[in-house]
Amino acid sequence: MQYLLERLNNLLHMEVRSFGLKYGLLPIQIEALTYLTRCNRYSDTPQAVTEYLGLTKGTVSQSLKVLEQKGFLRKQQDTQDKRIVHLAPTTMGRKLIEQSYPTKSFASARATTKSLPEGKLEEILRELLREMQYITNRKTFAACYTCRFIEPHQKKYLCGLTKKPLSEREIELICREHQFPS
Ligand code: SF4
């Protein structure tokens, strides 16, 4: 099974690489930008991108600089804490990621393998991912609505960790502070 996952990853990686080349971007730069379009306001910092990608600070910092120079993201100082810098994908950056996922070959292969129930397949892959993150002691970076800190609040939601309200959109995003219920 590991071999199959590696082959799939390899094919996807090749396609993302050739897509990125059209815009002068490396796969790591596409990955960083993808992450930034999916993460919440607590997770859009250079440190969080570094943790998510599992790469060195220097490599990630170079990639973020390229994305900024090409106009795919911009830096924004935190309004409360001036030491914190948020990385916001621009409209152009978001459009680019919309075009790159799912890759053309994946979408086409998925359309011809409809007999595989999507929910079941995702469930197995998610479980595998969760176990591997647990074994390797990595952060989960999962969607907020699955976090043990989320609480109902006035017909909406509240982050029990930060005590800040969360919108419907925010609970779909991934978070560096996320933890599954034990
Ligand atoms: S509830 Fe969990 S995932 Fe959501 S913002 Fe709070 S810590 Fe992050």
**Which sequence spans correspond to the domains of the chain?**
1-115, 118-182
Alpha carbon distance 158, 175 (integer Å): 14
Q: Is 178 in the pocket of ligand 1 (CB under 6 A)?
A: yes
* Residue 34 Cα to chain centre, angstroms: 6
> What is residue 120's predicted lDDT score, i.e. its pLDDT?
82
Judge whether 17 and 103 are in contact, CB under 8 Å.
Answer: no
Residue 113 β-bridge partners: none
Q: Could you tell me the pLDDT band of residue 9, with boundaries at 50, 70 and 90?
A: very high
The token pair at 87 is 């990385």
> What is residue 117's predicted lDDT score, i.e. its pLDDT?
73
What's the mean per-residue pLDDT of the chain? Answer: 93
Q: What average pLDDT does this structure show over 40-67?
A: 96
Q: Is a pLDDT exceeding 90 seen at residue 121?
A: no
Alpha carbon distance 49, 111 (integer Å): 32
> What is residue 8's predicted lDDT score, i.e. its pLDDT?
93
Q: Is a pLDDT exceeding 90 seen at residue 182?
A: no
Q: Is 173 in the pocket of ligand 1 (CB under 6 A)?
A: no
Q: Is 16 in the pocket of ligand 1 (CB under 6 A)?
A: no
Pairing of strands 156-159, 150-153: antiparallel
CA 122 / ligand 1 centre spacing (Å) = 22
CA 114 / ligand 1 centre spacing (Å) = 34
Q: Which CATH number fits domain 1-115: 3.30.70.20, 1.10.10.10, 1.10.3720.10, 1.10.1240.10?
A: 1.10.10.10
> What is residue 115's predicted lDDT score, i.e. its pLDDT?
72
Q: Is 150 in the pocket of ligand 1 (CB under 6 A)?
A: yes
The 10 Å Cβ neighbour count of residue 58 is 9
> What is residue 35's predicted lDDT score, i.e. its pLDDT?
97
Q: What average pLDDT does this structure show over 49-73?
A: 96
Vertex 177: Cα angle to 174 and 182 (nearest 5): 100
Question: 161: burial class by Cβ within 10 Å (0-12, 13-18, 19+)?
Answer: middle
| 67-119 pLDDT tens trace | 999 999 999 999 989 999 999 999 999 999 999 888 888 888 888 877 777 67
Counting residues of the chain whose pLDDT is more than 90, the rounded percentage is 79
Instruction: Residue 99: name the closest of 156, 161, 37 by CA.
Output: 37
* Residue in 52, 139, 140, 144 to alter for ligand 1 test, most ligand atoms within 8 A of Cβ: 144
